[in-house]
Amino acid sequence: MESFFQEGSSFDTVEVGELLARKYNLSYVMPLEFSEGISFIRKAFEKENEQRLWDLYIVQFPYMDKETFISFEDYKKQLMTGPEEQTNKKQTKEQILENVEAIINLTVKGGDPLGV
């Protein structure tokens, strides 16, 4: 385990050590080769992030109804999608012009985004 901590200096060794101790039996992990150790670290971080997302989801779950319900998998995908991926969706010229109009109404005119 020490060899991949030495080579994988981009990791915070205390955080990784604590995470691995919570997720795995360290007597099994310690003798692993570097690449295997990195795989365990990645999987541990992945599972830790998934647990955090689940914790966020269950806090929001009571406020969902039939119209606003979203499955955990969809919730996870939505949060894991980067901002670039969300903003790079193809829009028609008309959709872009409608968005521009709404922004102008909000900022310049100080009115309703729908122009009302």
Higher-confidence position of 14 and 96: 96
Q: What is the CA radius of gyration of the chain?
A: 23
Q: How much is the pTM?
A: 0.52
pLDDT (mean) for 26-35 = 78
pLDDT (mean) for 64-70 = 89
For residue 94, the 8-state DSSP code is H
